[in-house]
């Protein structure tokens, strides 16, 4: 029985009786100092800004649906939502892992700089808007204007995409398995390379998905909007 890893030291918050302020204060200031590595959150009941701004290697398990900005500005932590998430899940995430086991509302992963956001269900409008380097894997479909002005990072869409996918895309890359209603300005389909297939397979494995990378198409920027052309007469 030697070399067994010790069980993680855990703490439970029940938002039916504990305040959200106390929970977030504990995550920010006390958990790491007390050697607690896992926090169970019960009865979130759609509360906003749960587990925002964490800067520690914590495992946060939220049992239920959450409101706006869950795990926003996350750094280092692993946050799992056992339910659906409101707008702005993992907004401006810097690192770590956020896993929404249900559906995510508008602007999931907005402006995220790093880390991995996994959404098991569908994501609504503007998923990955202004993405700056994170990876987003959506097990279902995404709404219109997803990856709008995405600057860096990767978005994997295992279902379909609505209108204007990748509008005004920069250096981010999208892998989409299903139907695309329309591409946005300056976005285009490109051939999948061996490097794309390898990177995509890694993201799928990390997300617990078994899809074949060969089923996906690559969407990237045509780069015609990178520079201002005075003779274009505003026609791009």
pLDDT digits (tens, 9 = 90+) for 195-223: 999 999 999 999 999 999 999 999 999 99
Q: Would you say residue 17 lies in a domain?
A: no
The proportion of the chain whose per-residue pLDDT surpasses 90, expressed as a percent, equals 90
Q: How confident is the model at residue 9 (pLDDT cuts 50, 70, 90)?
A: confident
Q: Tell me, what's the pLDDT at 224?
A: 86
130 in a domain, yes or no?
Answer: yes
In this structure, of 28-37, 67-76, 166-175, 184-193, the range with the lowest mean pLDDT score is: 28-37
Query: Whose structure tokens read 């990390």?
Result: 206
In a domain, 38, yes or no: no
**Res. 144 pLDDT band, cuts 50 70 90:** very high
Instruction: With respect to residue 195, please indicate whether it lies within any of the assigned structural domains.
Output: yes
Let me know if residue 212 belongs to a domain. Answer: yes
Q: Identify the domain containing residue 88 by its residue range.
A: 45-222
Please report whether residue 180 resides in a domain: yes
Write b or e for each residue in 130-147: b if 16 or more Cβ atoms lie within 10 A of its Cβ, otherwise e.
bbbbbbbbbbbbbbbbbb
CB neighbour burial string for 53-85, b if at least 16 within 10 angstroms, e if fewer: bbbbebbbbbebbbbbbbbbbbbebbbbbbbbb
Q: How many domains does the chain have?
A: 1
Tell me the percentage of the chain whose pLDDT exceeds 70. Answer: 92
Give the model's confidence band at 225: pLDDT under 50 very low, under 70 low, under 90 confident, else very high. Answer: confident
Report which of residues 234 and 155 the model is more confident about.
Answer: 155
In this predicted structure, the answer to whether residue 2 has a pLDDT above a threshold of 70 is: no
CA diameter of the chain: 75
**183 to each of 28, 36, 148, how far by Cα in Å?**
41, 46, 10
**Per-residue model confidence (pLDDT) at position 135:** 98
Give the model confidence (pLDDT) of 46-101 as tens digits.
999 999 999 999 999 999 999 999 999 999 999 999 999 999 999 999 999 999 99
Q: What is the mean pLDDT of residues 28-46?
A: 95
Confidence of residue 229 (pLDDT cuts 50, 70, 90): low
The predicted model gives 90-117 an average pLDDT of: 98
> Does residue 58 belong to any structural domain of this protein?
yes
pLDDT given at position 1: 45
Concatenated DSSP letters of the chain = -TTPPPPPPEEEEETTTS-HHHHHHIIIIITTTTT--EEEEE--TT-SSTTTT-BS--EEEEES-B-TTTTTT-BS-EEEESS-B-TTTTTT--SSEEEESS-B-TTTTTT--SSEEEESS-B-TTTTTT-EEEEEEESS-B-TTTTTT--EEEEEESS-B-TTBTTT--S-EEEE-S-BS-B-TTEEEEPPPHHHHHHHHHHHHHTT----GGG-EEEEE--TTSS--GGGTT--
Cα–Cα distance, 28 to 53 (Å, whole number)? 7
Q: What does pLDDT average to over the chain?
A: 94
**Residue 182 included in any domain:** yes
Here the CATH number for the domain that contains residue 151 is 2.160.20.60
């Amino acid at each position: 029985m030697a070399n067994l890893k010790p069980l993680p030291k855990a703490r439970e918050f029940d938002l039916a009786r504990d305040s959200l302020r106390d929970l977030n204060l504990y995550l920010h200031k006390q958990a790491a100092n007390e050697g607690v590595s896992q926090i169970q959150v019960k009865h979130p009941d759609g509360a906003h800004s749960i587990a925002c701004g964490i800067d520690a290697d914590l495992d946060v398990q939220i049992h239920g649906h959450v409101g706006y900005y869950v795990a926003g500005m996350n750094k280092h932590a692993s946050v799992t939502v056992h339910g659906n998430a409101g707008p702005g899940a993992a907004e401006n995430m810097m690192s770590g892992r956020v896993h929404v086991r249900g559906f995510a509302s508008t602007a999931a992963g907005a402006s995220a700089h790093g880390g991995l956001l996994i959404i098991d269900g569908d994501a609504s409008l503007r998923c990955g808007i202004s993405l700056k380097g994170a990876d987003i894997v959506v097990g279902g479909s995404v709404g219109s204007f997803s990856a709008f002005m995405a600057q860096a990072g990767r978005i994997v869409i295992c279902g379909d995409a609505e209108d204007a996918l990748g509008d005004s895309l920069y250096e981010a890359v999208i892998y989409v398995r299903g139907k695309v209603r329309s591409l946005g300005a300056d976005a285009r389909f490109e051939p999948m390379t061996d490097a794309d297939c390898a990177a995509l397979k890694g993201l799928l494995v990390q997300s617990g998905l078994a899809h074949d990378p060969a089923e996906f198409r690559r969407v990237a920027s045509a780069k015609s909007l990178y520079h201002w052309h005075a003779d274009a007469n505003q026609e791009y």
